[in-house]
């Protein structure tokens, strides 16, 4: 009896081991055998990757499904349109500086595919779209290669000559650039979180793109927009970019960019503009940055209106010569916080007199970028006072229609809630005594 039980146990273990080996070795054949537009459902096992999909189909994993590459190429390559990858963990792509091809966990070479609920790690690029249009990437988690320097690895998600794609509700950390666009137009990036990268979002030669409701935190730079036109940035958050060359947004050699309702918090520089033209920057919050806006003279025809600047070490630094920026639009300027008081005696919502801000910090920044590291030092206050006494300060901006400081709404709501809680506690206490 015991021998029979032992034999059955051995057979069960053997079958389990065999099924696992088959799962690991036969994913490509399973893909090949799935009919066009069919569904391939994978169990919670590890499958051998480096597969190529050449027809429209659905590959759907379950809890514990892993597709693991052999470290020499793309883990999954999609060549056909209309492919869906769902519920997969994908890992161990190729990483070789000597190869002509840059490898990725998922390389997309076709249009109208869906990548959803993927967890990607240990690959040079996470997802690489190459001449691939109208794809959707949703709820994807990409982590850079552990143990490698950020500059020595690939990007989280990369778009090369790829147009009309959508990336949403995904998380990227620890890669070179979080999301990289190169000659890629009309893409949308919405509700993603990017951290611990070089640039969270990087546009090069890419036009008519939009990104909104994203969070960028603890990167070298939040978003770098270079040599691009008509980029729309709405309701994003840029926070805790504090390195020696850090920024929330860099705008360089770009035109007609619109920034609206973004929040810049605790950055070395909130917004850095250089050699760019015709941007509209309105309804943004610059809070507790060392410099709210660094504006180089090469950035012309910038329009700032209805922005709020609050407790920045310097709200604006104009560098490299006289700025041509406009600090109001349609009779509405900006809210400069308590540091630049604004009177509104007639209560029309506009300051009664123009305001200006003078500083000598631009000289330090222009001569040595490391000066940023000392902006929190008490010595900076002394430096500014000396510049004022010696008449060495220059006008950083003039706002003809400043906005009076807004009354915060949150504290009032908090106070009402606190009163309600206290009253409830007192009522319960009285009932207990009764």
Domains of the chain, start order: 25-219 (2.160.20.10), 250-407 (no CATH)
What backbone torsions phi and psi does residue 352 show, to the nearest 5 degrees? -75, -25
* pLDDT at residue number 149: 72
- Spatial separation of the C-alpha atoms in residues 214 and 232, rounded to whole Å: 12
Residue 413: is its pLDDT beyond 50? no
Of the candidates 237, 232, 277, the one whose C-alpha atom is nearest the C-alpha of residue 254 is 277
Q: How confident is the model at residue 139 (pLDDT cuts 50, 70, 90)?
A: very high
* pLDDT at residue number 97: 66
Contacts of 409 (CB under 8 A, 6+ apart): none
Distance of CA 30 to the CA centre of its chain: 37
* pLDDT at residue number 170: 99
Count CA atoms within 13 Å of residue 20 on its CB side. 11
Of the candidates 61, 110, 104, the one whose C-alpha atom is nearest the C-alpha of residue 82 is 110
Percent of the chain past pLDDT 90, that is, above it, reads 67
The distance in angstroms from the start CA to the end CA of the chain is: 72
- Spatial separation of the C-alpha atoms in residues 62 and 151, rounded to whole Å: 34
* pLDDT at residue number 18: 44
Mean pLDDT of 405-417: 46
* pLDDT at residue number 391: 52
In this structure, of 17-31, 349-363, 379-393, 411-425, the range with the lowest mean pLDDT score is 411-425
- Spatial separation of the C-alpha atoms in residues 233 and 225, rounded to whole Å: 11
Contacts of 72 (CB under 8 A, 6+ apart): 50, 94, 96
Residue 113: is its pLDDT beyond 50? yes
Residue 142: is its pLDDT beyond 90? yes
> Mean pLDDT for the chain?
86
* pLDDT at residue number 152: 76
Mean pLDDT of 267-279: 96
Q: How confident is the model at residue 414 (pLDDT cuts 50, 70, 90)?
A: very low
| DSSP secondary structure letter of residue 16 | H
* pLDDT at residue number 38: 98
Helix (H) or strand (E) holding 319: strand 314-319
Bridge partners (DSSP) listed for residue 274: 252
């Amino acid at each position: 009896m015991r021998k029979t039980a032992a034999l059955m146990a051995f057979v069960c273990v053997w079958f389990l081991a065999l099924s696992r080996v088959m799962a690991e070795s036969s994913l490509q054949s399973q893909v090949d055998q799935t009919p066009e537009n069919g569904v391939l459902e994978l169990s919670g096992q590890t499958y051998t990757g480096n597969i190529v999909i050449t027809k429209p189909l659905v590959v759907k994993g379950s809890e514990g499904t892993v597709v693991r590459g052999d470290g020499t190429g793309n883990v999954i390559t999609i060549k056909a349109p209309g492919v869906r990858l769902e519920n997969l963990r994908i890992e161990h792509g190729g990483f070789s500086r000597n190869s002509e091809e840059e490898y990725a966990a998922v390389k997309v070479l076709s249009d109208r595919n869906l990548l959803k609920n993927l967890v990607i790690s240990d690959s040079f690029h996470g997802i690489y779209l190459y001449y691939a249009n109208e794809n959707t990437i949703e709820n994807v988690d990409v982590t850079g290669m552990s143990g490698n320097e950020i500059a020595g690895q690939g990007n989280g998600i990369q778009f090369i000559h790829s147009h009309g794609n959508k990336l949403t509700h995904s998380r990227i950390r620890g890669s070179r650039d979080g999301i990289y666009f190169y000659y890629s137009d009309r893409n949308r990036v919405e509700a993603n979180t990017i951290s611990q990268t070089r640039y969270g979002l990087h546009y090069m030669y890419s036009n008519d793109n939009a990104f909104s409701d994203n969070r960028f935190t603890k990167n070298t730079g939040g978003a770098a927009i270079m040599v691009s036109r008509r980029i729309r940035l709405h309701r994003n958050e840029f926070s805790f970019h504090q390195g020696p060359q850090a920024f929330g947004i860099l705008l360089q050699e770009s035109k007609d960019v619109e920034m609206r309702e973004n929040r810049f918090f605790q950055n070395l520089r909130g917004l850095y503009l250089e050699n760019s033209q015709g941007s509209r920057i309105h309804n943004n919050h610059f809070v507790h940055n060392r410099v709210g806006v660094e504006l180089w003279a090469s950035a012309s025809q910038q329009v700032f209106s209805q922005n709020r600047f609050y407790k920045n070490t310097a709200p604006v630094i104009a560098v490299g010569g006289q700025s041509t920026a406009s600090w109001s639009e349609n009779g509405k300027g900006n809210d400069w916080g308590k540091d630049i008081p604004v009177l509104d005696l007639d209560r029309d919502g506009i300051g009664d007199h123009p305001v200006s801000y003078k500083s000598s910090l631009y000289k330090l920044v222009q001569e040595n970028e490391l000066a940023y590291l000392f902006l929190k030092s008490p010595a900076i206050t002394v430096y500014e006072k000396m510049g004022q006494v010696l008449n060495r300060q220059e006008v950083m901006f003039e706002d003809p229609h400043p906005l009076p400081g807004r009354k915060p709404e949150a504290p009032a709501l908090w106070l009402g809630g606190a009163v309600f809680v206290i009253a409830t506690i007192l009522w319960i206490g009285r009932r207990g005594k009764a």
